[in-house]
């Protein structure tokens, strides 16, 4: 297997495969791209062991970090059907432009999507899907702030829209009004997941390091 096809494996057992997805890689295929995906790499990896693999959740193409695969369709269904309950902690680190007015807080809104696939917030109850994001400041400098972000809901582009709503778009996220891209990627990384395995009922914690490029931006 050549280097670009290798998976960055965080954890593996007979039920689960947990990997650290790089930025700029699709989680699953689209109409335009079938093979250059994390799922395709995972399929190739388990094929050698005569195993199957099933996608449980996904990250945006430009987001890096923890992605969970199931090794059976029944576990995939159990996880997907109960994801909001079983995924106890979903933590991200983001570098945002500027500095939030409050060092920490909760953003709640209802998210809707335009025909051009742009997600936006509504404050009217029931007008879209409810989205809840918590954030706290880790460190900052004059230009950027590093935030720890946890989500209660996993809506499409949720963190990206909520950071824009905060007046601090994620670095490199041109779609949601970022004006800078110093590290040639979007600065959003899924660094921690606490998950209940529905087969064993055990709580499992998966963590990956924050990219050095993020830390260097706020030093």
What are the residue boundaries of the structural domains of the chain, listed by start? 3-218
pLDDT digits (tens, 9 = 90+) for 5-59: 689 999 999 999 999 999 999 999 877 776 799 999 999 999 988 999 999 999 9
- What ranges make up the beta strands (E) of the chain? 9-12, 16-21, 54-55, 64-70, 87-97, 104-113, 119-122, 129-140, 144-151, 188-196, 203-207
Mean per-residue pLDDT, 140-164: 97
Mean per-residue pLDDT, 91-99: 98
Catalytic entry in 8, 13, 15, 60: 60
Is 173 annotated as catalytic? no
The pLDDT value recorded for residue 5 is 67
The pLDDT value recorded for residue 79 is 97
CATH fold, domain 3-218, is Pseudouridine synthase (3.30.2350)
1 pLDDT higher than 60: no
193 pLDDT higher than 60: yes
């Amino acid at each position: 297997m050549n280097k670009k096809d290798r998976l960055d494996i965080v954890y593996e057992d007979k039920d689960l495969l947990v990997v650290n997805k790089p930025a700029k890689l699709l989680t699953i295929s689209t109409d335009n791209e079938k093979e250059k995906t994390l799922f395709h790499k995972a399929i190739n990896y388990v094929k050698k062991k005569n195993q199957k693999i099933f996608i449980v959740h996904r990250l945006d193409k430009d987001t890096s970090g923890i992605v969970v695969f199931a090794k059976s369709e029944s576990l995939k269904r159990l996880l997907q059907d109960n994801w909001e309950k079983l995924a106890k902690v979903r933590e991200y680190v983001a570098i945002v432009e500027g500095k939030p007015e409050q060092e920490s807080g909760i953003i709640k809104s209802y998210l809707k999507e335009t025909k051009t696939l742009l997600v936006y917030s509504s404050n009217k109850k029931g007008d879209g899907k409810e989205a809840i994001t918590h954030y706290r400041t880790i460190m900052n400098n004059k230009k950027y702030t590093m935030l720890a972000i946890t989500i209660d809901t996993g809506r499409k582009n949720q963190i990206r829209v909520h950071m824009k709503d905060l007046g601090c778009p994620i670095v490199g996220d041109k779609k949601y009004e970022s004006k800078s891209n110093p590290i040639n990627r979007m600065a959003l990384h899924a660094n921690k997941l606490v998950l209940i395995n529905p087969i064993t009922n055990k709580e499992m914690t998966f963590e990956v390091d924050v990219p050095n490029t993020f830390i260097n931006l706020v030093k």
